[in-house]
Every structure is written in C-alpha cells, then in structure tokens.
Amino acid sequence: MSSRILAILCGFAVCASAAVDQCKPIGWATRSGRTSTPFEVTGGGNATPITVTTFADLQKYAKDSSPRVIYIDGTLGSGWSGTTGDRLNITGSNKTIIGLKPGTLLKAPIHISKASNIIVRNIVIQGPGSNADQAWDNLTIENDGSKNIWIDHCEFWDGQDGNADVVKGADNVTFTWCIFGYKKKSTHNLSNLIGSSDNEPVSEGKLNVTYMFNWWKAANQRKPRCRYGNVHVVNNLLTGDASVTGGTDVLGVSAGHMCRVRTERNVFINEANPIYTGNANGTGVNEVIDNIFTNCSGNTKGTGTSFTPPYDYTGFMLPASEVEAAVKANAGATLKSPTECDANYVEPPPPTPDKQYQAEKGSITGGVSESSNSGFHGDGYVNFDKGGNVVVPVKVDTAGQYKFEIDFANGSGEARSLAVSAGLDTATASFKATGAWTTWNTQEVLVSLAAGENAVKFATVGGNDGPNIDQFEVTLVKAQVVSPDTSKKDTTVCDTSLGDTSKTAIPMLSGLSLQQGAYTVSVYATDGKFVRKTENVSQSMLRNTRELTAGLPAGVYLVRVTAPGVSRSYFTAVK
C-alpha cells in the first residue's frame, strides 16, 4: 500500500494502522457488473488537461465524445431551483472533472446518464434546500450504461430532492471522502437513494455501490436507502444534529426491496435509528459488522447475511476507532491541486523541519510578514522594503562565534545583500538569485554573539531591496575562551596553539586569515560605548591582545579590527 497516504493521514494527527491511497479508485467502481472482473477507472486518462472558466465550456467538454481531463477554475453555473436552471449533463464517457482549488463551487447539479469511466473530484455543490416537490438531486447517476463511476473528495449540501442518487440501472459506483450534509432544517432532508422504485426491473443485478470514508452530516434519512443493489457501507462517519433534524423522522442505513447492505466498521454519533429495517419488505438484508454507536437511539442490529465484496479493501480498511478522525481530516473538497491524484503524480520529498528561529516573528521595520509564496516554514517570511530590517531575539548560553544558516528566496534575478549584526559585530552576506520566490535556499553567515539574549538585526544594504528570509539556525562555531592570568592584569583570551600563552591572538571570526598590512583596532564596552582606537597597527602587534588592551579596567570588551576589505570582531576579558 502506498506510503504517501500513510504520511498524509499521519500529518492529520491520525496515523492509522492501515491506510488507503487516495489517488486510487476502490470498491464497486473497479469491477465489471457484479463480478470479480477488474475494471480500470481512468476517466480522461492522459488527455491534456483543459481548464474551463465558463459553464458553457464545461458543459461542452462533458458532453463530447473525446476523453477529457477538465479542470474547473472558479465558481461556475448560475444556480437552479426545482427542475429549472443550470444542470451539468455528463453524457460523454471517459471524463475526469476536477475542481482546480479546494472548495471549488459548482452552482449546478450534476446529471450522469449513459456514460462510463467517469471521475468527479474536488467539487462542492450547494443545493437550494430540500422540499417535497419533484426536483433535481445535487447528483444523479442513472440509466443503463452509466457505470464505473468514481465520485471522490466532493461535497453535496442541501439537495432539493436528494444529495446524490444512483438509480434506474446505473452500476459500479464508488463514493470516497465525500460529505453529504444538510444545513437547513426541513422534513425532506433525504440524502442518498439507490433505486427509485420497487418496480424497477432495469436495476435487477445492478446498482452496486461502495461508500467508503464519507461523512453524512445532519441528514434525516437515506444514508443510504437502497433497492436491488449490493451496497457496501464501510468506514464512514454518520453524525446527527438536533438543530437540523429535530422534529422529523431520522433513519440511517436502510436496506429495501432486494437490496443487500454490508454495513461495516462505521461510526454513528447522535443518530436515531442508525440501522432502519422498516423498508426491507422481507427481501432487504443489512449485515452489521463491528460498527460504533455513540449516543444513538433506535435499532442498531442487523438482519441476515449480505455479500462478500469481490474487490480488495481489508488491506486498508480502518478499525472503527480510527474512522472519525480520519474522515474529519480528509473528507470534502480539500485537494490542493488537480494533479495531486494524477497518474503522473510524483511524491514530493519530505518537508524539511522547522529551524530554531522564524524571522517573521521578529520586529519588522520597512517590510511585512508575508505568506503568499509557498515553501516557507512557520507563519510566513519577511519581505523587505528598500532600507527595511527585522530584529529577532536570539538567546545563547555561550559567547563566541556563531554560524547562522538562513533560509531565503530571491526571485529577482540578481544577488541581494543583507547586513546581519549583533551588538557591534556586523557581517554582510550576498544572497544569490534562486530563480523564483517559491524556491528556497540556505545562506551561511558568521556573527559573534554575547552570552544571553542578543538582538540580531537583518537589514538591507545601501537602500536596496533584500531577499525574502524565512527561518534560521544558530550553531556555535568557536566559543570565547577565558583563561585568567593571576600574576597581573592581562587579557585572557588565549590561542594555545601558538605556543605562547602570555600573549593572546585575534580569533579569526570569519574563518579567513588577515593579510599583512596596517590595521585599525577599536575597543568597545559590551553596552556599545566606544573606549579607544589605535591606528596603524601591524599584523605582528595584532597577536598581542594584552598590549592592545593595556590599562583598561577589568571587564569584557569587544575588539574590532578593520582594514580595507577586512572587518573582524571578537570579545576579550581583562582581569
């Protein structure tokens, strides 16, 4: 079984002991008739996707004779009432119709008639509210020839006559990860009907339907109510809501004329009559297997033995105890991309973990915290204005040189610089172009930090723009070493590798060697107050920190060494 969906379920805080690939059709849709002969549900297959932005185009491609992969961009349709208005008629076979974004709304019911090998995914249909008049269902699959149909990750709300019906000889249909719900109170909130009459001979041996990982919310009846078919209701969630269903007859799964239902490992919460036997008429069977009933009234017992599904499902069926969390996390029009379940889908690499510090949590001046470009961590990233900066508190236990690993994006096409400073130490780094604002790289910068909390500032340089920065890690590279000389006032930052512990050497804070020449040495107190400056210092004299700090009161100082093209800083202690 695919590891991708296991990772998805674990990401929703419900790591199931078994899992199903949400990109793969399952159930009766994958069989030919009531047999074990496989059928591959491909929809439009590898046809080049067409993105439609008008209802007219959607209707045109849904009816034609060519295999189609159709992406719906935006809200399409003008609505309907009763049997008047827009209705999407899918009469051409081999179609895949997918909402381009999560929650894609179709203001038109769907009618599938005499079409086969159909996939409908990631669409919301919001009906006008139920009534007792004859009206269009949110989805109707009907007539001989309508078969091998997979309805996945869709939402059907407030259907007038019903939410999603399969009738009049249709066959081999699977519903997965869908929501069937009602928000408005009515006596006719009837959701899923299979078979429209006890006298429907065209449906004998047909109407084979699988419901797996779906959620019925506040529906009065038909969850589902069936005739003729072999209907598998497995790993679904059914929840009642008295504010919507109160005062009406509430019936759950109902096996009617010549229908056999296998009700297996579902969860019923606040449901009245979860298993309704009043429609059986001596020929309906509802086998009840390992379900959970919580705060339910009415019948929960099954009748008779149903059927053994001719397709695999036990390898990924969830224990009933895990169904509620899995369905609530995944059901509905939640897919972020139409290619998420495409045949050519490539599993992305696992996400990189969050780093210690999120730049957007700092104090931003001349810039914003933004989240429009994907790939960031935390709540967003910092997008600088020209001359902008962000100050982030960074706390460390040990004073010394630290490596900052900064995640950034630079889609400008040219390198951009930032000055990274803490106290009196500043390092300027160039952040190369990454090709896009959604492509994130890492830049390393070395900066000295004092023990305790440091206000680390990231600032654009020379009034120019900067890269977008996301998060950063801070790692100690070289600690400030204090080794007191009790014989005299002396500096005590020693590099014992030099073989002379009576003199101290400048730490090479950037990892680069200083070049021969004259240098300027400036000394500051740790509060930033200037103490002294010595110019024309030779390289040999730089090796004697004691001489450079002679006469200073005991304490910790920051020493900065500068020359053309050179800037190095370090902390030293005078005893």
Question: Taking every pair of C-alpha atoms in the chain, what is the biggest distance, in angstroms?
Answer: 110
| Tokens encoding 460 | 């654009």
Mean per-residue pLDDT for 406-420? 95
Predicted local distance difference test score (pLDDT) of residue 537: 79
> Which one-letter DSSP state was computed for residue 153?
S
Task: State pLDDT tens for residues 261-312.
Answer: 999 999 999 999 999 999 999 999 999 999 999 999 999 999 999 999 999 9
If DSSP codes are grouped into helix, strand and coil, which group holds residue 243? helix
Give the Å distances, CA to CA, from 333 to 177, 372, 383: 9, 21, 32
Rounded percentage of the chain residues whose pLDDT exceeds 90 = 71
Given pLDDT bands bounded at 50, 70 and 90, which one contains residue 526?
low
Number of H helices and E strands in the chain, helices first, is 6, 41
Residue 565: is its pLDDT beyond 50?
yes
Q: Which residue has the tokens 């699988």?
A: 210
Residue 179: is its pLDDT beyond 60?
yes
Predicted local distance difference test score (pLDDT) of residue 508: 39
Cα gap 434→441, rounded to integer Å: 7
Given pLDDT bands bounded at 50, 70 and 90, which one contains residue 545?
low
Given pLDDT bands bounded at 50, 70 and 90, which one contains residue 523?
confident
Predicted local distance difference test score (pLDDT) of residue 484: 53
Predicted local distance difference test score (pLDDT) of residue 532: 82
Mean per-residue pLDDT for 153-171? 97
Mean per-residue pLDDT for 122-149? 94
Residue 495: is its pLDDT beyond 50?
no
Q: 370 forms bridges with which residues in the sheet?
A: 381
Strands of 163-229, DSSP E: 164-167, 171-176, 179-181, 193-194, 209-212, 215-217, 225-226
Cα gap 166→49, rounded to integer Å: 28
Residue 437: is its pLDDT beyond 90?
yes
Cα gap 527→549, rounded to integer Å: 17
Range in 204-218, 310-324, 526-540 with the lowest mean pLDDT: 526-540
> Does an H or E element contain 5, and which?
helix 3-11
**SS3 track for 253-301:** EEECCCCEEEEECCEEECCECCEECCCCCCCCEEEEECCEEECCECCCC
Q: Which residue has the tokens 């009206």?
A: 135
Q: Which residues contact 384 (CB under 8 A, 6 or more apart)?
A: 366, 367, 390, 460, 465, 466, 467, 468
Residue 481: is its pLDDT beyond 90?
no
**Taking all residues of the chain, what is their mean pLDDT, rounded to a whole number?**
87
On whether the CB atoms of residues 446 and 472 are closer than 8 A, the answer is no
Q: Which residues contact 31 (CB under 8 A, 6 or more apart)?
A: 37, 38, 39, 172, 208, 310, 311
On whether the CB atoms of residues 493 and 507 are closer than 8 A, the answer is yes
- Whether the model pTM is above 0.75: no
Rounded percentage of the chain residues whose pLDDT exceeds 70 = 86
Predicted local distance difference test score (pLDDT) of residue 518: 75
Mean per-residue pLDDT for 372-387? 93
Given pLDDT bands bounded at 50, 70 and 90, which one contains residue 543?
low
- Of 225 and 510, more confident: 225
Q: 408 forms bridges with which residues in the sheet?
A: 441, 469
Mean per-residue pLDDT for 390-413? 95
